[in-house]
Structure 1
Amino acid sequence: MTEMILIYVTCESVKQAKQIARHLMKKRLCACVNIFPNMIPMFFWPPKSGKIDESKEVVLIVKSLEKNYQKIEDEIHKTHSYEVPCVFAIPVKQVAKKYFDWLKAEIK
Structure 2
Amino acid sequence: MSVITACVTCKDLEEANKIAQHLLKKRLVACVNIIDPVHSHYLWPPKKGRIEEAQEAVLLCHTLESKYKDIEKEVLKIHSYTNPALYAIPVSHVSKKYHDWIVGELR
- Interval containing the TM-score (normalised by the shorter chain): over 0.9
Give the secondary structure class of the aligned counterpart of 1:93. coil
Distance in structure 2 (CA, Å) of the matches to 1:52 and 1:30: 33
Code of the residue aligned with 1:73 in structure 2: it is E
Q: CA deviation at 1:46?
A: 1.0
Gaps of 5+ in 1: none
Code of the residue aligned with 2:82 in structure 1: it is E
1:26 matched to 2:22: no
Partner of 1:14: 13
Which runs of structure 1 show a deviation greater than 2 angstroms over 4 or more consecutive aligned residues?
none
Give the secondary structure class of the aligned counterpart of 1:56. strand
Question: Cα RMSD between the aligned structures?
Answer: 0.8
1:95 matched to 2:94: yes
Code of the residue aligned with 2:106 in structure 1: it is I
Code of the residue aligned with 2:42 in structure 1: it is F
Partner of 1:76: 75
Partner of 2:57: 58
Gaps of 5+ in 2: none
**Percent of pairs with identical residues:** 47
Q: CA deviation at 1:83?
A: 1.1
How many residues of Structure 1 are paired with residues of Structure 2 in the alignment? 107
